[in-house]
Amino acid sequence: MKTSNRFFFSLILGIVLASCGEKNEKTSTTNAAADPQPYSVFEVTSKSDTLETDYPATIEGTENVDIRPKVDGFIQSIAVDEGAMVKKGQLLFTIDAPQYEQQVRTAAAAVNSAEADVNAAQLQVNKTKPLVEKDIISKYELESAQLTLQSKQAQLAQAKAALVNAQVNLGYTRITSPVEGVVGAIPFKTGSLVSSSTAQALTTISHTNKVYAYFSMNEKQLLDFSKVYKGKTLSEQMRNIPPVSLVLADGSIYAEKGKIESINSQINKATGAVLLRATFPNPNLQLKTGASAQLRIGQTVDNIILIPQKSTVDLQGKKFVYLLGDSAKVNYTEIQIHALPKGQFYVVTGGIKTGDKIVFEGFQSLRDGMAIKPQVLNTDSVYNAIKK
C-alpha cells in the first residue's frame, strides 16, 4: 500500500513540474513575440528622372533596290560578290543574249537602207523642181516627189527608233548598280537562265550609310506621345523629340543616336498601330538591312517617385508595400505604378507620397499591423546600391 502511494505521489509531482515548464516556455515565447523585430526602412522622395520606353524595331537601308533582268538570256558573268560594296553604275552581271546583238545589226542595216531611200527621194525632188519652174512638167509631179521624200524620211526615223530600241535592249545585257550600296545574296549562278518575268531578284543593293528603324505605337501610346512634346503641328513636335537610341540584339547600345523623322498619318485597321520611322547614321555599316533591334525613347519627367521593385509585394496582379505608420506599425498598402518600369525600380503614381517610409526588404514574417523596430536607411544609398 505504501508503494502504491509513492507511485501516485511521483506521478502527480511530474505532472506539476511539466505544467510549470510548459507555462514558463509559453511565457518566454510570448515575451519574445512581443519584442519588435528590426527591419530596414527608407524614406520615399521625389526626383526628376528620365523614363525610357523600348519598341521593337526593324532595320532597313535608306535604299533597298531589287536588281532584276529586263531581257531574257543566260548569266554570262557575275562581276561582284555577296556583301561587296559597289558604286552607282558599277557592273554587276552580264547576260549572254546574242539575239539582241543581231537585232542591233538588223536595225542598223535598216537605217542604212532608209537613208539611201531618203537620198534617192531627195534627188527626185531636186530633179523635178527646176522642170516645174520652167513649166516643162506639171506641179503635180513635184508634189508627188516631195510626198515620197516625206514618206522615206518617216521610214528613216522609224528605222532609227528601232535601232535605238535594239541598242537599249542590248545594253540591258550589262546590268549595273543603280545606287551605291552593299550587295545582298546572289541566288543565281553563272549559266542560269533568267528573264524579265523571273520572280526572284538577281540580288538586292542596300544603301546603308544611313538606315531606317521602323517601329509601331498603338493609338493610346501615340496620343500620350504627342502630348509630351511641344508644337502646334506634328512636324513641329517631331523636331522637339530628343535623339533616340537603338538597343541591338545582344543588348548593347548602338553608338550613334537617331532621330524620329516620320510618323504615318494612318492607323492600321488590322493592328490598330501607327508606323514610325527613325533615321540612324551607319558609318561603319554595323547595322544590316533586315536586322531587329529595340528603339529606345527617353522622356524626362519631373517629381516622380521611384521605389525598388524588391520593396514591393505582388498579389493578384496588384502591387503592395509595407508602409510605416504610427507606433512603428506597418500597414499593408496598395500602390499604383506606371506601366513602364525603370530598370530595377517602379514609378509610383499613387498610394504613397513623398516623406512616407516603407520597409526595404524581407517581408516573410511581416503582417499587416505588426509593430517593428525600424532601422532607417539613407535613401540615396538605397538607390545607388540597386543601380550598381
Query: Domains in the chain, start-ordered, CATH in brackets?
Result: 37-48+302-387 (2.40.420.20), 54-60+208-301 (2.40.30.170), 71-95+174-200 (2.40.50.100), 98-171 (1.10.287.470)
Q: Are 248 and 235 in contact (CB under 8 A)?
A: no
Q: Which of 227, 184, 222 is nearest to 206 (CA)?
A: 184
Is pTM beyond 0.75 here? no
**Which residue has cell 516643162?**
136
- Rounded distance between C-alpha atoms, residue 60 and residue 287, angstroms: 9
pLDDT digits (tens), the chain, 388 positions: 444 455 445 555 455 445 555 545 444 444 444 588 899 999 998 888 777 788 999 999 888 899 999 999 999 999 999 989 999 999 999 999 899 999 999 999 999 999 999 999 898 888 888 887 777 777 888 888 889 889 999 999 999 999 999 999 999 999 999 988 899 999 999 999 999 888 899 999 988 889 999 999 888 877 777 777 777 777 777 778 889 999 999 989 999 999 998 888 788 888 888 899 999 999 988 998 889 999 998 877 778 888 898 999 998 889 999 999 988 899 999 999 876 666 688 889 899 999 999 999 888 888 999 999 999 998 888 888 776 6
| Inter-CA distances, 107 with 48, 71, 159, 195, Å | 77, 18, 6, 23
Cell numbers describing residue 95: 547576260
Cell numbers describing residue 76: 554570262
Number of Cβ atoms within 10 Å of the Cβ of 184: 22
> Containing H/E element for 314?
strand 313-315
Instruction: Name 215's Cβ contacts closer than 8 Å, sequence gap at least 6.
Output: 55, 56, 57, 58, 275, 276, 278, 295
Number of Cβ atoms within 10 Å of the Cβ of 87: 10
CA 180 to chain centre: 23
| pLDDT tens digits for range 350-388 | 999 999 999 998 888 889 999 999 999 988 888 887 766
Cell numbers describing residue 329: 506599425
Q: Which of 250, 294, 241, 242 is nearest to 59 (CA)?
A: 294
Number of Cβ atoms within 10 Å of the Cβ of 116: 12
- Burial status of residue 306 (CB atoms within 10 A of its CB: 0-12, 13-18, 19 or more): buried
Strand ranges (E), 8-68: 37-43, 46-67
Return the CA Rg of the chain. Answer: 44
